[in-house]
Chains A and B, each alone.
Chain A
Amino acid sequence: MLMISPRMASGMQEKQYTPSLLSFFIYNPKFGPREGEEEKKILFYHPIEIEKNEKIRNVGLCEAIVQFTRTFCPTKPAKSLHTQKNRQFFHEPEENYWMVMVVRNPMVEKPNKDGKPPTVEYQEEEIIDSVYGSVLQQCYSMYKLFNGTFSRAFEAGGVELLTQKLEKFFYRYLQTLHLQSCDLLDVFGGISFFPLDKMTYLKIQSFVNRVEESLSLVKYTAFLYNDQLIWSGLEQDDMRILYKYLTTSLFPRHTEPELAGRDSPLRPEVAGNLLHYGRFLTGPANLKDPDAKFRFPRIYVNTEDSYEELHLIVYKAMSAAVCFMVNVAVDLNREFCEQLDSLVGPQLTLLASDICEQYNINRRTSGPEKEPQFKFIYFNHMNLAEKSTIHMRKTASVSLTSVHSDLMKILGDINCDFARVDEDEEIIVKAMTDYWVVGKKSDQRELYVILNQKNANLIEVNEEVKRLCATQFNNIFFLD
């Protein structure tokens, strides 16, 4: 992506290019072990226009690098390759299946006089490995959520089926990657939880129990409000990737029409059912139309042990959304959907307005917003709970941060330093711009605070953060 930053005189502009995807490929060396068979190793390659021999060479380089690093540590081979112009990230999600993502380094193009081509300067220190490494891992998780594992696909239909699935998924998914705005939150891959009082939480729990009892076909349920999770019956790793899919793909697709004006053609067909506001986000868009065909997306969970393939039903009423997961063996017909609609619709509508009311009461009693003045990011490794007052409107396309990207990179650096040891630590830095950044790690939780207090000293900064911890985090962090 190109960002123009105008500089001084003579209309000469320095152009700043952000990191971008150069190529992405998946290979398995076992599929083409002999000379002359190299092409067989390649299961997916983007961009597709690249000449065959070059693809083979690039894959060969990756194999050589992995092999070389195995000389020194057989069990922990290469994770990334740094070159002047780009970075390559390696991930082996299943034995012998390798995924490689090549990201072009950010660069600055400086114009030259006299019609000479502009000088390109690569900025080699900008990209943080842990961030993009996590993005690559997430590519696999997302693929696996909708397609199951590579090995199962290979078992079911050989290389042909596998390559077909990879092509179909990644061709679209890669277009949704926005590498210029990846940051620390990608490392966490966390879930934003909706803050609730005990009463309302119990109401939701009993709602889920009731529905699961009545619709015995439902295996797992997840309950969200306002793009935030309240309850989930899924394993953590499955929920975190499903959450990402819901909040960055499914929900945004459906909110835009909702926000459209009354007479806009985008407005969804309100089924004319005045009893409730519930509707399907996956499956039948309009229950009233008997001829409309529909199907539910399939997801794969618990791939390490029970390996389950499920229908994903997402049903929404106002700001509350419920996911019901049913075994694929079951045929979800119109009858079932109508049953679900009449059972869940009214209850969910009621629940949604209850939550809304309770939420407003809580906000009023907790007093004026103390939060906004603190820019922080919090993550709990145990339950994957994540909270950021720095990111705004994280959608499929862009997550805007209210702080300079250099500060976000400093957070990334501190996170890397934390990852080196298992102990509780605290790192406080003062940046060149006189912003203070405080990182605290305690007992599986991480907190990052950015303070714009140019004339503060270390002690004052410490006091500020202590206040934040006391009000927001109930003294989870104990360091002085």
Chain B
Amino acid sequence: MHRSDNRGSWEFQPEDTLIEKTGKFPSSLAQANLNGQKKAGSAVDVPSLAYRNEDIMSESWRQHRKHVFVLSEAGKPIYSRYGNEEALASTMGVMMALVSFVQAGGNMIRSIFSDEHTVVFLQKGPLVFVSVSATRQSEQQLRSELLHVYHQIVSMLTQASINRIFERRKNFDLRRLLFGSEKVLDGLLDVMDSDPSFMLSAVQCLPLPSSSRDTLSHILQKAVTPNLVFSFLIANNRLVSVVQEKTVLEDARLKPSDLHLLFNLIRASSAFQAGEIWTPICLPLFNHDCYFYAYVAYLDPPECTVCLVLLSTDKEAFYALAECKRKIEEAFASQNALQWVTNTPLYYVGDIGVANLKHFLYKPSKVLDHHRQLPQFTCPEMEVAYRSQEERIHLLDLYRNMHNRIHSTSRPLKLIYHSAGKETLLAWVTSKFEMFACFTPLITKKSAISELTKLLRWIKKEEERLFICQLPKYSSAPQPGRSSTDRGRSDRPDTSDTGLLSLL
């Protein structure tokens, strides 16, 4: 059994900043540190800032694993993952010209393939997204990553305001509104490379005995206030517990993608480390035109690994939510509940007793209610072989390739078994689950099947601990004073309350 040592397995640490395909370690970047201290559990913004000024004519710029560009329909640069986007203005102009040219022919450009790169285009409203990738990921996966970038921008501005801004002024420079948010997008792109949650469209939970989790949820359930829609308890990037408003839960409106964006926003803003934070955030799949107001506080300073996030539709609710947090803290303290979260053991493949299995991803299908309401997956901590960022990304690339084949829109598959030089891989989709597994290379098929069977049995046995099996709703309706006939609609975020929008 291993103690969770203050690091989520999918976070990357200040030490192991990206080792590019060239193998060059950006040592000069590793030294600089904005805040003067390393904070465990935070995304690293510093290297990204240094990439802001990278020379776009250099070989190293060309050799990045994945470029992402965001521009407006007018060809104006908005964001570039590497290099200064202003310096890339003419390159972006070319991209826009390609998009427009094909559009003029009544057609839509999708992608360009060459031996080394795949270029993928996505247009959403007035924004154009381009990915230039040396990863050999499929077009569909690259496009879905671009869609996440779009949604992250929406999470900060809302779709309605983006559309309205550009309707009024085609030449608007969106950087004015996104100033300081580059690191959010940088962080998103980094985490998408090494975190399977995006590929699986599912959430990874902190393994916790169901009794403990129920107790924590119960405490959250009781801390209600009007207009509270979501209460999240997050530890090291894993979901511990989520309580939702009744109709939102019943309609399964919480989508993993929104959750990933929320986590990323919290993680990327180093300001969230200290004290309480109050910020608007839009959940694009929930409702892309309005804001929630998020109250964020860490319950365990100074380690700051356990985070409480309360989302309300009321922008004046700060004090009410602060009061909820106080109640929750009190209740936790009385049972020493925080310890359950910080001390809970994460599991390794070795704990399961399958000798040749190196790693796996397991996602139950939507047959059971709680998985329909919140798609989840589980995977073990990385073993020594996959500790470095580069190796993690390599393993994930292998999984991604199989995921792409098995879920092909044109010729989907039920099973893939791939024996290669360094590993043997398996992908399997059934009506009950989908899973990806990585074995040692010389395993025989007989052994693979028997180990797989052992694994499935183990997962079944540990089910209650690995997944959130009950999704709770608030104990009392968070809307006293509203008529019961309104409840259905008034529990949705108020579309007239646009907060930031009224400033534009």
- Nearest CB on B from A418, distance (A): 10
Q: Report the separation of the CA atoms of residues A421 and B421 in the bound assembly, to the nearest whole angstrom.
A: 10
Residues of B within 8 A of A423 (CB): 420-421
Is the CB–CB distance between A68 and B94 below 8 Å? yes
- Nearest CB on B from A20, distance (A): 16
Q: Report the separation of the CA atoms of residues A129 and B112 in the bound assembly, to the nearest whole angstrom.
A: 11
Residues of B within 8 A of A85 (CB): 106-108
Interface string of A62-86 (1 = CB under 8 A from B): 0011011101110011111111111
Stretch from A11-19, A176-184, A202-210, A429-437 contacting the other chain: A429-437
Most buried by A among B67, B409, B411, B420: B411
Is the CB–CB distance between A82 and B111 below 8 Å? yes
Interface string of A401-415 (1 = CB under 8 A from B): 000001001100100
Q: Report the separation of the CA atoms of residues A462 and B106 in the bound assembly, to the nearest whole angstrom.
A: 49
Is the CB of A420 closer than 8 A to any CB of chain B? Answer: yes
Q: A125-B409, A413-B411, A425-B421 are in contact. Are A72 and B108 (CB under 8 A)?
A: no
Is the CB of A458 closer than 8 A to any CB of chain B? Answer: yes
Is the CB of B444 closer than 8 A to any CB of chain A? Answer: yes
- Nearest CB on A from B94, distance (A): 6
Most buried by A among B62, B97, B113: B113
- Within 110-130 of B, Cβ neighbours of A (below 8 Å) are at 110-117, 119
Is the CB–CB distance between B108 and A84 below 8 Å? yes
Residues of B within 8 A of A78 (CB): 112-114
Is the CB of A126 closer than 8 A to any CB of chain B? Answer: yes
Interface string of B405-421 (1 = CB under 8 A from A): 10011111111111111
- Within 408-460 of A, Cβ neighbours of B (below 8 Å) are at 409-410, 413, 417, 420-421, 423-432, 434, 457-459
Q: What is the count of residue pairs linking A and B with beta-carbon distances less than 8 angstroms?
A: 139
Q: Report the separation of the CA atoms of residues A420 and B94 in the bound assembly, to the nearest whole angstrom.
A: 30
Q: A72-B117, A458-B449 are in contact. Are A428 and B107 (CB under 8 A)?
A: no
Residues of A within 8 A of B107 (CB): 83-86
Return the chain A residue nearest B427 by Cβ.
A429
Is the CB–CB distance between B112 and A65 below 8 Å? yes
- Nearest CB on B from A4, distance (A): 21
Q: How large is the interface on B (under 10, 10 to 19, 20 to 34, 35 or more residues)?
A: 35 or more
Is the CB of B258 closer than 8 A to any CB of chain A? Answer: no
Residues of B within 8 A of A69 (CB): 112, 114, 117, 119
- Nearest CB on A from B256, distance (A): 24
- Nearest CB on B from A414, distance (A): 9
Q: A69-B117, A71-B91, A79-B115 are in contact. Are A410 and B421 (CB under 8 A)?
A: no
Count how many chain A residues have C-beta atoms less than 8 Å from C-beta atoms of the other chain: 50
Most buried by A among B109, B417, B446: B417
- Within 56-113 of B, Cβ neighbours of A (below 8 Å) are at 62, 67, 91, 94-95, 97-98, 101-102, 106-113
Is the CB–CB distance between B62 and A123 below 8 Å? no
Residues of B within 8 A of A480 (CB): 419, 444-445
Most buried by B among A85, A125, A423, A429: A429
Is the CB–CB distance between B445 and A462 below 8 Å? yes
Residues of B within 8 A of A124 (CB): 110
- Nearest CB on A from B38, distance (A): 34
Is the CB–CB distance between B112 and A81 below 8 Å? yes
Is the CB of B401 closer than 8 A to any CB of chain A? Answer: yes
Is the CB–CB distance between A125 and B410 below 8 Å? yes
Residues of B within 8 A of A413 (CB): 405, 408, 411
Residues of A within 8 A of B102 (CB): 61, 83
Is the CB of B7 closer than 8 A to any CB of chain A? Answer: no
Residues of B within 8 A of A458 (CB): 415, 417, 445, 448-449
- Nearest CB on B from A334, distance (A): 52
Residues of A within 8 A of B445 (CB): 458-459, 462, 480
- Nearest CB on A from B308, distance (A): 43
Return the chain B residue nearest A438 by Cβ.
B417
Is the CB–CB distance between B410 and A429 below 8 Å? no
- Nearest CB on A from B358, distance (A): 18
Is the CB–CB distance between A125 and B408 below 8 Å? yes
Q: A409-B411, A431-B411, A432-B413 are in contact. Are A76 and B116 (CB under 8 A)?
A: yes
Is the CB–CB distance between B101 and A430 below 8 Å? no
- Nearest CB on B from A246, distance (A): 32
Interface string of B421-460 (1 = CB under 8 A from A): 1000000000000000000000011101100000000000
Is the CB of B491 closer than 8 A to any CB of chain A? Answer: no
- Nearest CB on B from A452, distance (A): 15
Is the CB of A479 closer than 8 A to any CB of chain B? Answer: yes
Is the CB–CB distance between A410 and B411 below 8 Å? yes
Is the CB of B145 closer than 8 A to any CB of chain A? Answer: no
- Nearest CB on A from B207, distance (A): 30
Interface residue ranges, B against A (CB under 8 Å):
62, 67, 91, 94-95, 97-98, 101-102, 106-117, 119, 132, 136, 139, 401, 405, 408-421, 444-446, 448-449
Additional A-B contacts beyond A65-B112, A69-B117 (19; CB < 8 A): A64-B97, A64-B98, A64-B101, A69-B119, A72-B132, A73-B115, A76-B114, A78-B113, A78-B114, A81-B109, A413-B405, A424-B421, A425-B418, A425-B421, A427-B418, A429-B405, A431-B413, A432-B411, A432-B413
